[in-house]
């Protein structure tokens, strides 16, 4: 076979270690994007991603680089999502590469995500090029970083490239290493065409745009294609590459990374990790590693104003077009009316979608308590998946409830050991093993219930380690435990939106906490309101909401009528923003506030 001068690689790093800055620098050095266009970080497109400093969507870019050996190489830089919620997407982007540039911030050293990413990359048999980045920083500690490279990641320190994305040091060295150390495209010898789907995007003019990496064979406009996971067939309308703009080309050949536009209309038909083959000459086997992505976290989303229902529905539909991992279906709640049950990959994914509904679609929403997916078995019935506590079978009939667990890598300073151990214990976790990283830091591997880390684990980790702790996780097994449904009653009425599944040992504490918080958040009412937590019929905690005493118009002495009216109107407006549950007015963010510690 001819030698192909193509190299496919990605940059992996802990958040903030300089991936975006370095990517821009590589584009600039290869004249892919003119310098003056590069005012902003190019690969992170969405505002929200920028604000949070994370990348969610992968945007590949094709660059041309004239190497020291005199030949011009085609370099495809893949971007990987930077958050654990998206680890399957990361693994598919990595599978589309032969090598990875692993960034380590010279002042921070190795972090939890660095280790997790390095493992993912070696797990995909990628060649890892270690880069110590930000060496321009006065606080850079090169010796320590090189030592950690050997001790923690088992990479010889002499393989490391010293660089600074900011001042441009080492950029050429990185490009040379990509060309000389990363092998040319793999899996070319398969008979038949195989291309890996690693992402997709919805374009309102052109429909679904699939991002693909061709391993063997070729894709051209006019070809009939088959998606191997489902056997669905379609016609290819256009193929092209990203420069980073989309540019149409004649053919995507072996080793190429680009996009495919077909007559497929629905994003959910394009599954990440799927294999595209040609219909007339199909491949016999899919590319390895395909998995059906299932949402891990669910919550109900309801419009604050019930006449925004259609607007919310349209917003969810549009978000779903671009995000096959996000799911929703209609549901109704006694407390909140008509809304939607939504499924997300993780808590960050959930927050992002909620934020986009508010910002980009201008719909005020209420979210219910998030829930993981439980496996529940009741007498005489097959095991079912339950993602909404309201749907649990009658407690008397339940044989077991099993919950998902995670395997977490938690990196902390030695000095926080005691605090972290008690945090892990509080969250019902067990330590699997402990590794000493250097004189100051340890890496704990712990098994924890996913449910326990959903709401505040990361914040608590950051707070007890004064910001130095970091965590990454992968999903583990399901484990049965003593789990029960806890209801919250307001004025004697259960509010389904506040129901949750909790461990029995924690029910009372959590019930009390929820009641206290609600009692604080719910404004004084005209009459006394009881807030109670209950398991089955048994009340386990109780608080009262204060009674309203003050008449807002009292201080007007009945004199100035316009002022009085204004005040009353203001009060009415204030009321309008409340959600009416029975006779009780609840602020819309009550549900979010009780979730936060
Ligand atoms: P990402 O989260 O990995 O994409 O990181 P960014 O590229 O967004 O960089 C995070 C922060 O580090 C930003 O404030 C950058 O300006 C800064 N930064 C990135 N590269 C360098 C570098 O080489 N030297 C210095 N001093 N700062 C850098």
Find the CATH number of the domain harbouring 513: 3.30.70.2570
Residue range of the domain that includes 348 = 297-370
> What is the per-residue pLDDT across 374-395, written as a single tens digit (0 to 9) for each?
999 999 999 999 998 888 988 8
> What is the per-residue pLDDT across 542-555, written as a single tens digit (0 to 9) for each?
998 877 765 555 55
Q: Which of 143-147, 164-168, 355-359, 553-557 has the lowest mean pLDDT?
A: 553-557
The structure tokens 């909620």 sit at 354
Ligand 1 atom 17: the closest Cα is on which residue? 18
pLDDT attached to residue 576: 47
Which of 12, 14, 16, 103 is the best mutation target for the ligand 1 pocket, counting ligand atoms within 8 Å of the beta carbon and taking the most?
16
pLDDT attached to residue 95: 92
pLDDT of residue 41 exceeding 90, the answer is no
Q: With cut-offs at 50, 70 and 90, classify the pLDDT of residue 589.
A: low
Two tokens, residue 315? 């917003």
164 Cα nearest atom in ligand 1: 23
pLDDT higher at 200 or 565: 200
Q: Which of 316, 340, 370 is the last residue of a domain?
A: 370
Is 20 annotated as contributing to ligand binding? yes
301 plus 349 within the same structural domain: yes
| Residue 287 is assigned to a structural domain of this protein | no
Centroid of ligand 1 to alpha carbon of 105 (angstroms):
9
Q: Is 16 in the pocket of ligand 1 (CB under 6 A)?
A: yes
Ligand 1 atom 9: the closest Cα is on which residue? 18
| Residue 290 is assigned to a structural domain of this protein | no
| Residue 289 is assigned to a structural domain of this protein | no
Q: Is 83 in the pocket of ligand 1 (CB under 6 A)?
A: no
d(CA 241, CA 393): 52
17 Cα nearest atom in ligand 1: 3
97 plus 111 within the same structural domain: yes
326 plus 356 within the same structural domain: yes
Scanning 433-560, the segments in alpha helix (DSSP H) are 450-453, 457-464, 504-521
| Stretch (H or E) spanning 477 | strand 470-481
Centroid of ligand 1 to alpha carbon of 138 (angstroms):
14
| Residue 286 is assigned to a structural domain of this protein | no
Q: Pick from 511, 421, 423: which is nearest to 460 by CA?
A: 423
| Residue 391 is assigned to a structural domain of this protein | yes
pLDDT attached to residue 57: 53
Ligand 1 atom 18: the closest Cα is on which residue? 18
| Stretch (H or E) spanning 486 | strand 483-490
Q: Which of 481, 503, 529 is the last residue of a domain?
A: 481
Find the CATH number of the domain harbouring 272: 2.40.30.10
Beta-bridged to residue 467, according to DSSP, are none
Which of 54, 101, 165, 173 is the best mutation target for the ligand 1 pocket, counting ligand atoms within 8 Å of the beta carbon and taking the most?
165
11 plus 85 within the same structural domain: yes
3-state secondary structure of 137: coil
Residue 525, Cα to own-chain centre: how many angstroms?
39
d(CA 191, CA 281): 9
Centroid of ligand 1 to alpha carbon of 13 (angstroms):
11
43 plus 170 within the same structural domain: yes
| Rg (the chain; Cα; Å) | 27
Centroid of ligand 1 to alpha carbon of 164 (angstroms):
9
pLDDT attached to residue 282: 93
pLDDT attached to residue 296: 87
How would you class 78 by CB atoms within 10 Å of its CB: exposed for 0-12, middle for 13-18, buried for 19 or more?
A: buried
* 232-259 average pLDDT score: 93
| Residue 532 is assigned to a structural domain of this protein | yes
Find the CATH number of the domain harbouring 135: 3.40.50.300
* 241-249 average pLDDT score: 89
* 417-421 average pLDDT score: 95
54 Cα nearest atom in ligand 1: 2
User: Which residues have CB under 8 Å from 296's CB, separation 6+?
Assistant: 343, 344, 345, 346, 372, 373, 404, 450, 475
| Residue 477 is assigned to a structural domain of this protein | yes
Find the CATH number of the domain harbouring 385: 3.30.70.240
Q: What percent of the chain has pLDDT over 70?
A: 87
21 plus 164 within the same structural domain: yes
104 plus 236 within the same structural domain: no
The structure tokens 């939607």 sit at 340
344 plus 464 within the same structural domain: no
22 plus 143 within the same structural domain: yes
| Residue 187 is assigned to a structural domain of this protein | no
pLDDT attached to residue 197: 94
Most confident of 202-216, 246-260, 432-446: 246-260
pLDDT attached to residue 53: 46
Q: Does ipTM top 0.85?
A: yes
d(CA 567, CA 556): 9
3-state secondary structure of 328: strand
Two tokens, residue 52? 């949070």
pLDDT attached to residue 454: 80
Which of 18, 20, 58 is the best mutation target for the ligand 1 pocket, counting ligand atoms within 8 Å of the beta carbon and taking the most?
18
167 plus 33 within the same structural domain: yes
Q: Which of 278, 311, 337 is the last residue of a domain?
A: 278
Q: Which of 19-33, 83-97, 211-225 has the lowest mean pLDDT?
A: 83-97
Contact between 514 and 498 under an 8 Å Cβ cutoff? The reply is: yes
128 plus 266 within the same structural domain: no
Q: What is the DSSP string of 179-240?
A: HHHSPPP----SSS-EEEEEEEEEETTTEEEEEEEEEES-EETT-EEEETTTTEEEEEEEEE
Domains: count for the chain: 5
pTM: 0.75
Q: Is 356 in the pocket of ligand 1 (CB under 6 A)?
A: no
Q: What is the 8-class DSSP label of residue 491?
A: T
199 plus 175 within the same structural domain: no
User: Which residues have CB under 8 Å from 414's CB, separation 6+?
Assistant: 440, 441, 442
Is 135 annotated as contributing to ligand binding? yes
How would you class 70 by CB atoms within 10 Å of its CB: exposed for 0-12, middle for 13-18, buried for 19 or more?
A: exposed
Centroid of ligand 1 to alpha carbon of 167 (angstroms):
11
* 332-357 average pLDDT score: 86
Find the CATH number of the domain harbouring 354: 3.30.70.870
Contact between 424 and 493 under an 8 Å Cβ cutoff? The reply is: no
Is 19 annotated as contributing to ligand binding? yes
């Amino acid at each position: 076979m001819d030698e192909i001068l193509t190299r496919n690689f990605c940059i992996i790093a802990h958040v903030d270690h300089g991936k975006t800055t370095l990517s821009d620098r590589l584009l600039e050095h290869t004249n892919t994007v003119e310098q003056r266009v590069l005012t902003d970080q190019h690969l992170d497109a969405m505002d929200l991603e920028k604000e949070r400093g994370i990348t969610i969507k992968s945007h590949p870019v094709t660059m041309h680089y004239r190497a020291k050996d005199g030949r011009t190489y085609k370099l495809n830089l893949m971007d990987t999502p930077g958050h654990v919620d998206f680890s399957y997407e990361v693994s598919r982007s990595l599978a589309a590469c032969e090598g990875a540039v692993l960034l380590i911030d010279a002042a921070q050293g190795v972090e939890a995500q660095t280790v997790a990413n390095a493992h993912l990359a070696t797990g995909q048999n990628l060649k890892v090029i270690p880069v110590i980045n930000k060496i321009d920083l006065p606080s850079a500690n090169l010796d320590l970083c090189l030592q950690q490279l050997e001790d923690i990641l088992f990479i010889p320190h002499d393989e490391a490239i010293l660089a600074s994305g900011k001042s441009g040091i080492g950029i050429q060295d990185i490009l040379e290493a990509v060309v000389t150390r990363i092998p040319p495209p793999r899996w070319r010898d398969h008979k038949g065409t195989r291309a890996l789907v690693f992402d997709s995007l919805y374009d309102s003019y052109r429909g679904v745009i699939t991002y693909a990496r061709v391993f063997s064979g070729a894709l051209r406009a006019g070809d009939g294609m088959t998606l191997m996971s489902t056997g669905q067939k379609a016609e290819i309308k256009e193929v092209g590459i990203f420069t980073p703009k989309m540019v149409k080309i004649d053919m995507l050949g072996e080793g190429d990374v680009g996009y495919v536009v077909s007559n497929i209309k629905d994003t959910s038909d394009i599954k990440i990790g799927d294999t595209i083959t040609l219909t007339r000459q199909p491949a016999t086997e899919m590319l390895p590693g395909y998995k059906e992505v299932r949402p891990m976290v669910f919550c109900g989303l309801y419009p604050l104003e019930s006449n925004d229902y259609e607007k919310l529905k349209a917003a969810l539909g549009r978000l779903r077009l671009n995000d096959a991992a996000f799911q929703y279906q209609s549901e109704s709640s006694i407390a909140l009316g008509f809304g939607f049950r939504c499924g997300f990959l993780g808590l960050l994914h959930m927050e992002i979608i909620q934020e986009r509904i508010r910002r980009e679609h201008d719909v005020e929403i209420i979210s219910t308590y998030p829930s993981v997916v439980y496996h529940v078995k009741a007498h005489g019935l097959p095991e079912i998946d339950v993602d909404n506590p309201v749907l649990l079978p009658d407690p008397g009939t339940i044989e077991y409830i099993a919950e998902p667990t995670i395997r977490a890598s938690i990196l902390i300073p030695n000095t926080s050991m005691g605090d972290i151990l008690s945090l892990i214990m509080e969250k019902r976790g067990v330590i699997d093993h402990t590794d000493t990283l250097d004189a100051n830091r340890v890496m704990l591997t712990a098994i924890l219930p996913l449910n326990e880390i959903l709401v505040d684990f990361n914040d608590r980790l950051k707070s007890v380690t004064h910001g130095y702790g970091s965590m990454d996780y992968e999903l583990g097994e399901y484990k049965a435990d003593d789990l029960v449904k806890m209801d919250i009653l307001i004025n004697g009425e259960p509010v389904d939106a506040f129901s949750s599944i909790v461990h029995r040992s924690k029910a009372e504490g959590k019930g009390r906490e929820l009641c206290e918080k609600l009692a604080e958040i719910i404004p004084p009412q005209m009459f006394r309101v009881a807030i109670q937590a209950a398991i089955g019929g048994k009340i386990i905690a109780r608080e009262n909401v204060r009674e309203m005493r003050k008449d807002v118009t009292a201080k007007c002495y009945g004199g100035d009528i316009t002022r009085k009216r204004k005040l009353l109107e203001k009060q009415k407006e204030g009321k309008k923003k409340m959600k009416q549950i029975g006779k009780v007015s609840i602020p819309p963010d009550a549900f979010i506030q009780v979730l936060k510690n």
